[in-house]
Amino acid sequence: MAKPAPTRPLRPATLLVRGGQMRSNLDETSEALYLTSGFVYDSASQAEKTFTGEVSHYQYSRFGNPTIEMLEARLAQLEGAEACRATATGMAAVSSAMLSHLKTGDRVVASRALFGSCHWIVSTLLPRYGIQTEFVDGGDLEQWKAAFKRPCQLVLLETPSNPMLELVDLATVCELAHEAGAIVVVDNVFATPLLQRPMKFGADVVVYSATKHFDGQGRVLGGAVLGNKKWVEEVLQPFVRNTGPAISAFNAWTILKGLETLHLRVPAMCRSAAAIAQMLEERAEVERVHYPFLASHPQYGLAKQQMAAGGTLVTFDIKGGKEATFRFLDALRVIDISNNLGDAKSLITHPATTTHMRVPAEERARLGISEGSVRLSVGLEDVADLIEDIAAALDAAAVTPAAPRAKSAGKQVVEDSAPVPPPAPAKPRGKKAEAPAPAAKPAAPDLFVTAMQDLFREPDAEPAPKPAKRRQKA
Ligand SMILES: *Cc1c(COP(=O)(O)O)cnc(C)c1O
Asked whether the beta carbons of 169 and 305 are under 8 A apart, the reply is no
Cα dihedral 173/174/175/179 (nearest 10):
100
Q: Of all residues in the chain, what percent are helix, strand and coil, respectively (each to 5)?
A: 40, 10, 45
- Predicted local distance difference test score (pLDDT) of residue 441: 53
CB of 90 sitting under 6 A from ligand 1: yes
CB of 187 sitting under 6 A from ligand 1: yes
- Predicted local distance difference test score (pLDDT) of residue 428: 43
- Residue 165: Cβ-neighbour burial (10 angstroms; 0-12, 13-18, 19+): buried
- Predicted local distance difference test score (pLDDT) of residue 359: 85
Asked whether the beta carbons of 68 and 247 are under 8 A apart, the reply is yes
Core vs surface per residue 208-241: b (16+ CB within 10 A) or e: bbbbbbbbbbeebbbbbbbbeeebbeebbbebbe
Asked whether the beta carbons of 78 and 12 are under 8 A apart, the reply is yes
Pairing of strands 154-158, 107-111: parallel
pTM for the complete prediction? 0.86
- Domain ranges in the chain are 12-259, 263-418+441-455
For residue 32, the SS3 value is coil
Q: Separation of 312 CA from ligand 1 center, angstroms?
A: 15
Lowest mean pLDDT across 42-51, 92-101, 391-400: 391-400
- Nearest-CA residue for ligand 1 atom 11 is 115
Range 432-460 average pLDDT: 58
CATH of domain 12-259: 3.40.640.10
CATH superfamily for 263-418+441-455 is Aspartate Aminotransferase, domain 1 (3.90.1150.10)
Lowest mean pLDDT across 162-166, 380-384, 412-416, 461-465: 412-416
pLDDT at 466 over 80: no
- Nearest-CA residue for ligand 1 atom 5 is 90
Neighbours of 306 (CB within 10 A): 22
Share of the chain above pLDDT 90, in %: 79
pLDDT at 472 over 50: no
- Predicted local distance difference test score (pLDDT) of residue 429: 44
CB of 189 sitting under 6 A from ligand 1: yes
pLDDT at 404 over 70: no
pLDDT at 318 over 90: yes
Asked whether the beta carbons of 225 and 241 are under 8 A apart, the reply is no
DSSP E strand stretches across 137-295: 154-158, 183-187, 205-209, 223-227, 286-290
Q: Separation of 233 CA from ligand 1 center, angstroms?
A: 24
pLDDT at 376 over 50: yes
Range 54-83 average pLDDT: 97
* pLDDT per position as a tens digit, 152-196: 999 999 999 999 999 999 999 999 999 999 999 999 999 999 999
- Predicted local distance difference test score (pLDDT) of residue 16: 96
* pLDDT per position as a tens digit, 70-90: 999 999 999 999 999 999 999
- CA 141/CA 160 separation, integer angstroms: 16
Q: Separation of 90 CA from ligand 1 center, angstroms?
A: 5
Using alpha carbons only, give the angle 52, 53, 57 rounded to the nearest 5 degrees. 115
CB of 89 sitting under 6 A from ligand 1: yes
* pLDDT per position as a tens digit, 196-228: 999 999 999 999 999 999 999 999 999 999 999
- Nearest-CA residue for ligand 1 atom 6 is 90
pLDDT band at 360; cut points 50, 70, 90:
confident
Q: Separation of 209 CA from ligand 1 center, angstroms?
A: 5
Q: Which residue has the higher pLDDT, 457 or 249?
A: 249
